[in-house]
Amino acid sequence: MIVGYEAAQIVDRFGDAFAGVPITYVHQREQLGLGHAVLQTNRHVDGTFLPVNGDNVFSGSVAPAVAAVGEADAVLVVEEVAATTGVIEMHEQGHVTGLVEKPIELSSTLVTTGCYVLLDNVFHVCAAQAVG
């Protein structure tokens, strides 16, 4: 679990495990965006992994997204809304070309829902990108 802001409260609340599943905490000392947060987990991930923003609640299953990653390098759960939050930039074939957190100008109405299925090869992409 990646923790940063209010990390002590989260660690105190969940401890070493939740529902019998062990928790490893990765501390993000500076909150420099989603890509930076994902990059902090590099030493702890081997294969496909599921980053989910902690301030989001989902009622459905992530199983379809996990199954779909076999056909792509990553799966993002998106929603079409007109809001200023993290937006997804895509080209015509539906491939993601960018993820911009809280842009000044909206370039898309597709926003992230905070649920991602990624392969561990994403770390080299995160390391090569600008912070944010």
Tens of pLDDT, residue by residue over 28-76, are: 999 888 889 999 999 999 988 888 888 877 778 888 878 877 767 666 6
For residue 87, the cross-strand partners are 100, 111
Q: How far is CA 127 from the centre of its chain?
A: 15
Residue 127, pLDDT score: 82
Q: How far is CA 96 from the centre of its chain?
A: 14
Structure confidence at residue 86 as a pLDDT band (50, 70, 90) = low
Question: Which residue is it, tokens 């599921």?
Answer: 50
Interior CA angle at 2 toward 46 and 49, to 5°?
30
| CA atoms within 13 Å, Cβ hemisphere of 120 | 8
Which pTM was predicted?
Answer: 0.68
